[in-house]
Amino acid sequence: MKDNGNGRAKKKVNEVGLSRSDYKGRPTTLCQGCGHNSISSQIMAACYELSIQPENVMKISGIGCSSKSPTYFMSRSHGFNAVHGRMPSIATGASIANRSLKTIGVSGDGDTASIGIGQFIHLMRRNVPMVYIIENNGVYGLTKGQFSATADKGQKLKKLGVNPFMPIDLCMEALIANCGFVARSFAGDPKQVKELLKSALNFTGTAVLDIISPCVTFNNRDESTKSYSWGIEHEYPLHDVTWVPSYDEIEMEIEPGEIVEVTLHNKSRLVLKKLEHNHDTSDRLAAMQLLEETCCAEILATGLIYLNQEQETFQSVENLVDKPLALLQQQDLRPSREALDAVMDDLR
């Protein structure tokens, strides 16, 4: 089953015997240059490099341009394009039904920051194990260019004029909701996107990645904080992130005191190489302060903003049997005749 190429030329394969092409999706129908396509590429790369069996991944999304993108990566994974803003509830039900699978949720700012904001918060409150990607471009693309709830205040759009409202900062929302993995990135920084994705895929609870992903058609003017040019000019990486498997030595030339290493529950590690700023990813209040300060200073701070591995996941709270619920059969599920008789005796 893992043979993909009819024994043709020896392709480079990963630890589960799959080549990069086994992680492909259908051809994208998004606009050329769309940030979402770049993110899809990094999802495929991260899963390939992590040797994740695609059949063990569930791709779940809501409605919108971003939500279409799961079709464009990993066709060998089951996917579910649900209803607007309600990817979190599908993900909650799906992941509790089979906790042996990895869940990747893809959403946009229209999907998450408006109708989906409630489910987004409650997903994090429950700490449902999954990677929650927001492809954030500040605009409704699929309905042709209306403001989203993350649009900049004062932003101008052709049809709708000026946006008078403050944007919702989804990383701030995640911090408030006690999410244990909060990161921000930029589609124009694919290397960081990939390393953060790898880290998120190895995290045990809800991992939120708010990725600024420019909409080349409706919101890519230089002054927009969701544009490529603005991102390239204003990105301020908090650190250089590298995910390292448990068995690898760290192969970086570093000065002592210049890196912070965090071991994840599965023994793989996150190596954060210090850049200009000294950001403590374990300090929730510092993370909030960082968001507040960088936002006011028109800085796109990217990287891992907050990490907390202490919280119980939804799955462990539910205290489930080892076998996934979805695979339980009649012998596991139907109590005995005697048990029914006993229950009925109590009703007499």
User: Is residue 296 close enough to count as binding other proteins by CB under 8 A?
Assistant: no
Return contacts of 244-253, CB within 8 angstroms, 24+ apart: 244/268, 244/269, 244/270, 244/271
- Of 14, 19, 28, 75, which lies in the binding site for other proteins, with binding defined by CB under 8 A? 75
Contact 116, 107 (CB under 8 A): yes
- CA max distance for the chain: 76
Closest contact distance (angstroms) between CB of 145 and other proteins is 21
- Of 249, 251, 253, 346, which lies in the binding site for other proteins, with binding defined by CB under 8 A? 346
Contact 203, 264 (CB under 8 A): yes
User: Is residue 1 close enough to count as binding other proteins by CB under 8 A?
Assistant: yes
Find residue 287's DSSP bridge partners: none
Q: What residues numbered 152-171 form the site for other proteins, per CB under 8 A?
A: none
User: Is residue 122 close enough to count as binding other proteins by CB under 8 A?
Assistant: yes
- Of 253, 255, 276, 333, which lies in the binding site for other proteins, with binding defined by CB under 8 A? 333
Q: How far apart are CA 159 and CA 297, in angstroms?
A: 29
User: Is residue 81 close enough to count as binding other proteins by CB under 8 A?
Assistant: yes
Angle at 53 between CA 49 and CA 58, to 5 degrees: 110
Contact 14, 52 (CB under 8 A): no
Q: What residues numbered 89-108 form the site for other proteins, per CB under 8 A?
A: 89-98, 100-101
User: Is residue 176 close enough to count as binding other proteins by CB under 8 A?
Assistant: no
- 57 or 196: whose CB is closer to other proteins? 57
The encoded tokens of residue 243 equal 């995910």
User: Is residue 6 close enough to count as binding other proteins by CB under 8 A?
Assistant: no
The encoded tokens of residue 308 equal 């907390």
- Of 42, 66, 71, 148, which lies in the binding site for other proteins, with binding defined by CB under 8 A? 71
Length of the chain (residues): 348
Q: What residues numbered 23-52 form the site for other proteins, per CB under 8 A?
A: 26
User: Is residue 249 close enough to count as binding other proteins by CB under 8 A?
Assistant: no
Rounded to 5 degrees, φ, ψ at 39 are -65, -40
Q: Which residues bind other proteins (CB under 8 A)?
A: 1, 4, 22, 26, 53-56, 58, 60, 70-71, 75-83, 86, 88-98, 100-101, 118-119, 122, 318-322, 324-330, 332-335, 337, 339-340, 343-344, 346-348
